[in-house]
Structure 1
Amino acid sequence: MASTRSESTHDRGIRVRAISGSVIGTALEWYDFFLYGTAAALVFNVVFFPTVDPLVGTLLAFGSFAVGFIARPIGAIVFGNYGDRIGRKKVLIITLMIMGISTMLIGMLPGYDSIGIVAPILLTILRFVQGFGLGGEWGGAVLMSLEHGDPKRRGFAASWPQIGVPLGLLLANGALTVMLWITDDEAFLAWGWRVPFLLSAALIAIGLWIRLRVSESPEFEKLAAEGKRVKIPILEVLRNQKRELLIATGSRIGTDVAFYIFVLFVVTYLTQMVGVEQSTATLVVLISAATMVLFIPAFGALSDRVGRRPVYLGGAIGALVWVFAFFPLLETQNLALIITADFVGMLCWAAMYGPLAAFTTELFPANVRYSGASLGYQLSGILGGAFAPIIAVSLYGRFESWVPIAGYVAAMLAITIVSVLVARESSRDTAEVAAAPAEVQ
């Protein structure tokens, strides 16, 4: 009895370390990624694209933001392959270092006034490197949590790395908000925005120390011991898992679009279209992100009880309806109503994002899971979030109305709803079914 209790305590300790390492590392990588997005909305149109109209400059800044999404599927293919071949842990250490170094270099990059056209070119290259690193991050972090976790609570275990998104957003917006508060406009444009980027070096060092202490995924170690790894996992996915890949991609498109409208475009809309102060706009996003840290694992746990699909569909339908109330509430310029608009929108997003990790990874067998889940997740980033801010700004510039933007978001959410409806419910699968390997090559 004592031995069993000791083993159980030991197993819990391993799970806690694995989940903690995934959460902290993922939060730091999303901090890097969102720091760029928020800076693109606030300062990059001035620092790196100063010779054009402000709205056009914002479009160009968001264009460089989109480059990171284009790089993410490439990173998913490269790092997914290695994650299925050499292990989840090793790949996650590499992706963390790539993100941290590229973010720090952005903070050191001279502006357009100093080096001319070279500045936005280098900015875009570093953004590509950021996206490349992030492309391999999500799948590995989720799998480390899911494969270390309780087989009966896979939704809850896999949802923890998902809070890295709001945590990273919270850290990024928090850092920029502090700099906005302690500097005037001139100082913020000159050097204030750079401080959060340079802080990435210290944060990544902390994340690296934590990840080095986490053990490898037990499911990967079992596959390696039994010789069940495939030679080229991505080819196995493209050959035998095409339906699952389409579902993984389609199910996240609307989720991604809704997210970037609620947390990124909302800053542009409030500051440039409604006339709200920058610090107020970022504060609204901070409040929403902070509360989602609690709701994402709650929805992940709920998906273990009632199923992945009902929770996911509830969030998607809720977001589709709410987006038509979202913009009118923003235009009231009433802080309480603006916070309500963003909070409810993000709550609907959390209902999708909480079960998404388990929903997506359970589509694929264990020995191609890193490749399949990562590629599906990152492909949807290109089709969804990459161009969502650009499309939103363009639609407003063309029609000077929020209605086409809401219609665009609703259409993308409809794709998500259809994708989830055609997927099978996997929450009741046994651990053996969920881990069934693909054919070994």
Structure 2
Amino acid sequence: MPDAPPAQRSTPQLRRVALSGLLGTAVEFYDFLVYGTVAALVFGDLFFPEADSAVGTIAAFGTFAAGYVARPLGGIVFGHFGDRVGRKSMMLMTMVMMGAGSFLIGLLPTYDVIGVWAPVLLVLLRVVQGIAIGGEWGGATLMVAEHAGERPRGLWTSFTQLGAPLGTLLSTAVVTLVSTLPDEQFRAWGWRVPFLLSLVLLAAGLYIRLKVEESPLFAAERRERGERPQQGTARPPLLEVLRRPRSVLVAACVGIGPFTAQSLLTSFLISYAVDHGYTRSQVLTGVTVASATALVMMPLASMASDRFGRRPVVFTGAALSAATAFPVLALVDSGRPGLLVLACVIGHGIAQSTMYGPLGALLTEMFGTRVRYTGASLGYQTATLLGAGCSPLVASGLLATYDSSTPVALLITGGAAITALTVWLMRETKDDTLGARPPNGAQEVPGRARRRESWAWQR
């Protein structure tokens, strides 16, 4: 018997899939962001001790960027097999890779013990983490969107998006706890604890994910492929996507703003604020409060996108991020802990969350079922590389030359402007049907016949 259409799938199964996406993505972001937090605090001294303070920080964020460089590769590899083999199996593989990489970082000897091999192994493990998280988001988000069908996709996919602030909340809370140790103990062994705890989160995430069913849209697509006469070898999903590369470029441009703000107002902000007189606990408190605010703002923004459209909500968040970038950095420069918390809440908890919340639904609606994992993952991970991977490295380099927060504010403003311009020009996607098949069976171009005001390459 054919699979039931997504709209007819049971609500309990959809809830289980949404919980799987939330917990799994939270585990992934916890592992990934623990590195960024600890790197901002001690990795410059532990793994690059022969460099001065500024160079050590740049080197530490260089390894941070290495994880982001690997993410598009993860999106391509896991996207290929996710579109060919299945979403669920790829979700399980990415979670295991991420947890194992994080655990091994917690066991890694420092430069004082094994010399140059310490930073080399650190970079390799960061690449493993990057490949894993590069495939994670696509699988988790598509599973939720494709199970939701015609139900409010913005709201349901926001559970996966909530994995980012929840993972940030967990990582900063754990690092805040261990950072209360005396500095000598924190540098000796305390920094390892958050990485080693990954095994506990990994076990919980795997338990949930093993209980979910495969995507009904993918199951129907695979069955249809099996029933069609074989006419040569099917083109790989990546080549199908690259036949219309502008869709991937649009997806990447939409994501640059939220990822630039996320990276600069979490991991980089910790290093910047500590260097400007704040204590570790004060900065981590600000990031924690901002993440808690994001847990409320993201579902609200996503629900608004279901009602008013993805474009106006994401544009509002981008405009707010650009408008508040300089005031937010001025609050950080004030030296007052209360204003630091307010800066984190405005910049990250509100503005960034409004951009990021509807992103999962928006990107899944840009591609057809056959290539959705590959296309959405590649666009999303390219955005993380450009927005989140490079911005801390660029900001650290600029701060080493200009002792001012202006370059940081300009980076946030520039990323938000790219996002705002892109969503202003693109057409609305919230009413598109995920299961619709384009004439060539490849990449979906919804609304082509309905709307003349769509992108030029969609006409």
The reply to whether TM is greater than 0.5 is yes
Judge conservation of contact 1:173–1:282 (CA < 8 Å) in 2.
yes
Residue 310 of structure 2: aligned partner: 308
Deviation of 1:405 after TM superposition, in Å, equals 2.1
Any residues of structure 2 matched to 1:419-430 within 5 Å, and which?
419-430=422-433
- 1:233 counterpart = 2:231: no
Structure 1 runs, 4 residues or longer, greater than 3 Å off: 7-10, 228-231, 430-433, 435-438
CA distance in 2, matches of 1:301, 1:170: 22
Deviation of 1:242 after TM superposition, in Å, equals 1.6
Residue 214 of structure 1: aligned partner: 212
Residue 51 of structure 2 aligns to a residue whose secondary structure is coil
Deviation of 1:417 after TM superposition, in Å, equals 1.4
Amino acid in the other structure paired with 1:217: S
CA distance in 2, matches of 1:54, 1:77: 36
1:36-74 CA-partner distances (Å, limit 9, x unpaired): 111110110111111111121110000000000110000
Deviation of 1:412 after TM superposition, in Å, equals 2.1
Amino acid in the other structure paired with 2:48: F
Residue 414 of structure 1: aligned partner: 417
Deviation of 1:416 after TM superposition, in Å, equals 1.3
CA distance in 1, matches of 2:439, 2:102: 37
CA distance in 1, matches of 2:440, 2:179: 51
Deviation of 1:293 after TM superposition, in Å, equals 1.1
Unpaired stretches in structure 2, ≥5 consecutive residues: 1-5, 229-233, 444-459
CA distance in 2, matches of 1:9, 1:321: 43
Distance change (3 Å), C-alpha of 1:395 and 1:438:
farther
Deviation of 1:10 after TM superposition, in Å, equals 7.2
Any residues of structure 2 matched to 1:239-388 within 5 Å, and which?
239=243, 241-272=244-275, 274-346=276-348, 347-388=350-391
Amino acid in the other structure paired with 1:127: R
CA distance in 2, matches of 1:404, 1:427: 36
CA distance in 2, matches of 1:404, 1:99: 32
Distance change (3 Å), C-alpha of 1:53 and 1:75:
same
CA distance in 1, matches of 2:188, 2:388: 29
CA distance in 2, matches of 1:335, 1:130: 33
Amino acid in the other structure paired with 1:70: V
CA distance in 2, matches of 1:397, 1:440: 48
Identical amino acids, percent of aligned pairs:
43
Judge conservation of contact 2:270–2:283 (CA < 8 Å) in 1.
yes
One of 188, 194, 197 as aligned partner of 1:196: 194
Deviation of 1:128 after TM superposition, in Å, equals 0.4
Deviation of 1:158 after TM superposition, in Å, equals 1.3
Distance change (3 Å), C-alpha of 1:9 and 1:217:
closer
Deviation of 1:150 after TM superposition, in Å, equals 4.8
Judge conservation of contact 1:366–1:437 (CA < 8 Å) in 2.
no
Judge conservation of contact 1:367–1:438 (CA < 8 Å) in 2.
no
Deviation of 1:438 after TM superposition, in Å, equals 5.4
Residue 150 of structure 2: aligned partner: 151
CA distance in 2, matches of 1:83, 1:432: 17
Residue 305 of structure 1 aligns to a residue whose secondary structure is helix
1:247-300 CA-partner distances (Å, limit 9, x unpaired): 00111112211111111211112100x200011111110110112112111111
Residue 3 of structure 1: aligned partner: none
Distance change (3 Å), C-alpha of 1:80 and 1:438:
farther
1:74-97 CA-partner distances (Å, limit 9, x unpaired): 000000000101110000000000
Judge conservation of contact 2:314–2:354 (CA < 8 Å) in 1.
yes
Deviation of 1:440 after TM superposition, in Å, equals 5.8
Any residues of structure 2 matched to 1:137-176 within 5 Å, and which?
137-176=136-175
CA distance in 2, matches of 1:249, 1:98: 25
Any residues of structure 2 matched to 1:89-104 within 5 Å, and which?
89-104=88-103
CA distance in 1, matches of 2:7, 2:369: 24
CA distance in 1, matches of 2:140, 2:420: 26
Deviation of 1:152 after TM superposition, in Å, equals 3.3
Judge conservation of contact 2:145–2:153 (CA < 8 Å) in 1.
yes
CA distance in 2, matches of 1:8, 1:245: 27
Q: Calculate the aligned-residue CA RMSD, in Å.
A: 1.8
Worse-matched range after superposition: 257-266 or 422-431: 422-431
Judge conservation of contact 2:134–2:377 (CA < 8 Å) in 1.
yes
Residue 4 of structure 1: aligned partner: none
Judge conservation of contact 1:29–1:100 (CA < 8 Å) in 2.
yes
Judge conservation of contact 2:253–2:383 (CA < 8 Å) in 1.
yes
Amino acid in the other structure paired with 1:376: G
- 1:398 counterpart = 2:401: yes
Amino acid in the other structure paired with 1:208: L
Q: Give the number of equivalent residue pairs.
A: 431
Worse-matched range after superposition: 24-33 or 382-391: 382-391
Judge conservation of contact 2:28–2:167 (CA < 8 Å) in 1.
yes
Judge conservation of contact 1:80–1:374 (CA < 8 Å) in 2.
yes
